[in-house]
Every structure is written in structure tokens, then in C-alpha cells.
Structure 1
Amino acid sequence: MTYCCALRLKDGLVFISDTRTNAGVDHISVFRKLYTFGTAGERFICIQTSGNLATTQAVIGHLENQLTLRQEPNLYSVNTMFEAAGLIGQTLRKVIADVTDDTQEQSNYFCSLLVGGQIKGEEMQLYNIYPQGNFISATSDTPYFQIGESKYGKPILDRALRYDMPLDEAVRCALISFDSTLRSNVSVGLPLDALVYTKDSLVIPEGKRITEDDPYFQSISKQWSDALRRSLLDIPKPTEDFFK
């Protein structure tokens, strides 16, 4: 399993992915699940992957091969992020269809993808691409998407995240979402890959890999746990009728 989270906010985009791949207790490995494409000053595209590892690697491989061979269309020739999402969805469908044409068996090879970015002259976009290849876009009302093991990290995003939230606050919110998931599900694990894109910059960010000994992430984890404990004690005690 895995956990990926992407935010589309007023000031930019935030992407964080874990790197754990679990094929049983004896087969736990680290694989990157966050990929970037683009040309500085012209476009930036980020893809996050969750699900069948062979499928996700094949999708990324096909997209990279299209660029190497200059096949049309490709991620550098599409005119909009909507076209980019469509191309990625088509590639996903093709990869699964190449494995099997049995619709029931295809579910064994499913994966989910998040794709976000900006092309010069266009607005930033963020899409959630389903295993069938179709997709939906993030909005100001719903400014984030999750794929993979999402349930443990969802409450903080639902309660705290806002479309107009500054990027530094959004990063903290997303990291708390990951800390909650890491504590509750062993199928999600460090290191994490994090990337922040500033609106209209058209710069491909280097990103940051967060390891177990990262002092900032350790600090966030501890402070969040301490804050929850203090808040619990600040809540009024239950009334006597709870104990009758």
C-alpha cells in the first residue's frame, strides 16, 4: 500500500508521497512514487502513483519513452494540463489492456494516479486519475486529493486545509496528515518525497526527501502529539450520566 497527497491552493501546489511498497511481510521495499516532468519557464508536471507497482512503473516508462522517441502526443507537446491528464489516462488504460483483456482480471493490475502542474499561459491544475483512465479535477471547494491509504490522514485535511491557506501552512497540514498515517498503518512508510510548486513560477522544484532522522519532521510529529494530548485535557470532563 502507499499514501500520496496533493494540494491545489491559491498560491501553488503541494505534493507528498511515501515510498513503501508492500508485497507481504517478507517483501517490503522502497520505491519512488513521485515523478516530475517539465521545462523551466514553459511547463511543470508532477505525477504521483499508487497501486500495482508494475502498472505504475509501466505507465511512467511509456510516458518517458514517448519523450525520448519524440512520439506525439507527449507530456511536452500537449497544450493544457487537461490534455496531459487525458494522455496519462489513455496510457494507463493501454498498459492494463496489454496485460489482459479480461475485465475482471484487470482489477489485479489497477493503480491510481495524481497529476498536477502548470503550463505557460494556463492555470494550475490537479487531477485524480482513476484506474479506468477517467479523471476529476480539484476545485477551490475541494482543494486536495489522496490516493492509497488515505483514511488516517484525511481528518486533518478536512478540518484544517483551506484553498487560500499559505503554502507553508499547507505543508505543515500535509505533513501532519502523513504523520497520522505513519502511526496508524505499517503499509505506509518513510522516507517521504515532498515537493512544493509556487504558482506561475514555471520552475521544476528539486523537492525534498524526508527520512526518519529528519529533525523538522520529528519536531512536527512530537509537537502534534503533544498538542493533541493538551487539547484532550482542555476538553470539559464528561457529565456524570456517562458513568451511571
Structure 2
Amino acid sequence: MDGTLDHVMLRVTDLDESLEWYQTHLGYEEKDRYEGDGFTIVYLGPEDMHEDGAMLELTHNEGADDLEVGDAWGHIAVRVPEDELEERYQQLMDDGVEDYRDPESCDYNYAFVTDPDGHEIEIVKRDYGAEWSIDHTMIRVEDADEALGFWTRKFEYEHTGRWEADTFSNYFVKPDGAADEEMAVELTYNYDGRSYEMGDAWGHLCVRVDDLEEDWDQLLIREAADYRDPESNDQMYAFTKDQDGHEIELLERDPDAESLFPF
């Protein structure tokens, strides 16, 4: 299965405020927009993002003005040049972004800010990828072996790295042969056996596939959850879930289409 991580979706309470935040502070531009019945979806990303770089999808539902950011959802991480972490963080502070976890508190290896809805954004140092492009998305899992098995067996992803501490471990997975600029999934496992709440502010990860029907059938053979099949979505997309209930969208894009959306 050749599935590139296409985007990560977050729900927001005030779309205009969120768009202004990401466009002002991260320099994102609007890639496409879909106005549905009672909801709006906007794709965002850096102007010069890699062709297989992941976009940020912001979804706003009418009347959704009290979203809960659960602890099963972790963060997205965005890239800055290796020697510019402190400078970029200070610029965000000067521009009025909330001081959440500064570089000093993170041993100058990374930093964190939060967007208007409380979604955490990690700032990581990288020598590749467009500035502020999405490096990885972190989700918390209750069983590391099951989580790694899900991504490596069902999606044929590679286990590309790990970081182990006294109380938790981080595992990274990515499509086989993916470019450095593509997004990875970070699986965080805490050793204390805790469980997590999803919350309704966390949306999903999206995997872009070559053949929706064929890849969906392959996932079912591999015993992935039959959550929302292609037929129930007018053959435009489908959804499965991992062992912890994180939603994963499958989407096939027409490279010649004028819109990024299959609607």
C-alpha cells in the first residue's frame, strides 16, 4: 500500500480567528476550501511545501463553540532551521502568541506554543523541509506493540525511530521510502497504563492512496476496522480506526482536478 500522509485535521471554534493565527504566525496560505451544509473545511500549508508534504485541515462546524481537546491527541510539530529555534520562538512571543513551553525549558531542543483552541504546536529544528511545514503529528496510544503493529502491518509503514525515557517512549512511523519532507506519525506510549479521552477538537489523520477501493479492501483483509467504507461516502473517501479509536481517512485524489476535495 503506497499511502502518503496527506493531512491532519483539527476542529476549531472560530474559523476566521484560526485562519488568521496560522496565516500570521506560521505564514500558511489557504490551499483550498469547501463550504458544506453546516460546516467549512480549509486546507492550509506553507507556500513552498513539498509535493508530498502534509497539509493542515481546519474544520469548523456551525454551533461548535465549545470544543474539548482530549489527551489522546498530542500535537503537530512544525519545522524551523536548525540554528533559528530561539529566534523564531521569540518572534512568536513578540507577536503575541501565548508562552507555553519555551526553548530553555526544553533544553533548547524544541519548544511549544498553542493555537486559539489550545491545540499544541511543537517547534522542531530541521535542516530540511519548508519553514513551518508539518514534521509529524503525535497521538497517544495505550499499547505500543499494538500501535506499531497497526501502522507497520496494515499500512506497511516503516518504524523509522524511537526515543525512550524513564516513564514513556516515542515511536515514529512513516511510509516506506518517504522523503524527509513528508510527515511522520509519532506514537507516544506512557508506561503507567493510563487511558485517554479523544475529545471532539481532535479530528483525524489522512492517508492518500492510489486506489481507494483496492486499498480499502486490503485494509479489511488485514483486519482494520470497517468504520466508514467508500460506498457510504459516495466512493470519495473512507475511514478506519486504529486500536485506540484514532480516525484515519483514506483519500484518493485526481491529480488533474481543479479542487483538492473529491466532492
TM-score, structure 1 normalization: 0.29
Bigger relative CO (Cα 8 Å, ≥ 6 apart): 1
TM-score, structure 2 normalization: 0.27
Max radius of gyration: which structure? Answer: 1
Query: Which structure dedicates a bigger proportion of its chain to helix?
Result: 1
